[in-house]
Amino acid sequence: MAEALARHTMVKASAAGWAVVMSRHPELAREPIIDGWARADRPLIVRRPACSDAAGMIPLGLPLPPSHGKRRIALALAPADIIASAAPPTLADAAAAAPAHWQETIGLLLQLLPETRTFGSLAWQHLTGLPYLSDSSDLDLLWPLSPARHAGTLPSDIGRIAKQAPMRLDGEIVGRAGGVQWRELIGADEDEVLVKGPAGVISTTRAAFLSGNLS
């Protein structure tokens, strides 16, 4: 299960698993929003593993809304305690939770790549109903890499939209080996880029990543 879950995957924890987490981290159990997270059927997000994570556990994150300090809490669950998993929401599905002045940019992004997904403040507001978005929020996105379509021009196309956007566009173009921050992919084909995968980071060239040949 741990290898099968890509970064940014949204998961639901079992009641038993969540009870273990709360007993392991009593300081979190004292926070009502955290203690009640699983009971409210809210997800966690798969993150990159840290050195302190135990082998065989699935590394997870729980980002709190600004009203609760905008903390990013690192947790880990055993594979057996994951009862559901899903890709992050599509930008199209989450768009209704976005402010009105974001809608034109979201429309352009969806025209560019309808399969675009979101994983940051917009995604969490959409998934939980809690107020994550603020005037300074970024729009965090995942663009699936499809070399057969327009992978070579995708970074520059995103860049053109970003120049006119009222918010900062952040996120990764995602291939089979992992994701690369989209701004790193604007440059010469031989430029080195960092690919963030489920088990760590590897380096390759821009051309090799956009070709889709990494696995």
Question: What is the tens place of the pLDDT at every residue in 136-192?
Answer: 999 999 999 987 677 789 999 999 999 999 999 999 999 988 999 999 999 888 899
Q: How far apart are CA 194 and CA 42, in angstroms?
A: 31
Q: Give residue 215's pLDDT.
A: 63
Q: Which is the catalytic residue, given 41, 140, 170, 191? A: 140
Percent of the chain with pLDDT over 70: 97
pTM: 0.91
In the chain the beta strands, taken as DSSP E runs, fall at 10-13, 44-46, 58-63, 72-77, 82-86, 117-118, 139-144, 169-175, 178-181, 192-197, 200-205
pLDDT at 115 over 70: yes
Task: Report the alpha-carbon distance of residue 48 to residue 108 in Å, rounded.
Answer: 30
pLDDT value of residue 5: 86
Q: Which tokens in the block code for residue 2?
A: 């741990």
Nearest alpha-carbon partner for 101 in 46, 164, 39, 38: 164
φ/ψ of 79, rounded to 5, equals -50, -35
With beta carbons less than 8 A apart as the criterion, state whether 48 and 7 touch.
Answer: yes
Name residues whose C-beta falls within 8 Å of residue 202's C-beta, 6 or more positions apart in sequence: 177, 178, 194, 195, 214
Please say whether the beta carbons of 46 and 196 come within 8 A: no
Rounded CA separation 81/149 (Å): 38
pLDDT band of 3, cuts 50, 70, 90: low
Give the pLDDT score at 126.
98
Whether residue 2 is predicted with pLDDT greater than 60 in this model: the reply is no
Q: Which residues pair with 137 in a beta bridge?
A: none
Higher pLDDT, 1 or 131: 131
Write out pLDDT tens, residues 61-110.
999 999 888 889 999 999 999 999 999 999 999 999 999 999 999 999 99
At 1 the pLDDT is 44
Across the range 32-49, mean pLDDT stands at 91
Can 138 be counted among the known catalytic residues? yes
- Catalytic residue among 35, 93, 138, 170, which? 138
Task: Give pLDDT, residue 164.
Answer: 96
Q: At what angle do helices 154-164 and 103-112 cross, to 10 degrees?
A: 170
Mean pLDDT of 41-45: 95
d(Cα 174, Cα 191) in Å, to the nearest integer? Answer: 17
Q: Which two tokens stand for residue 127?
A: 């998934």
Q: What's the pLDDT score for residue 61?
A: 95
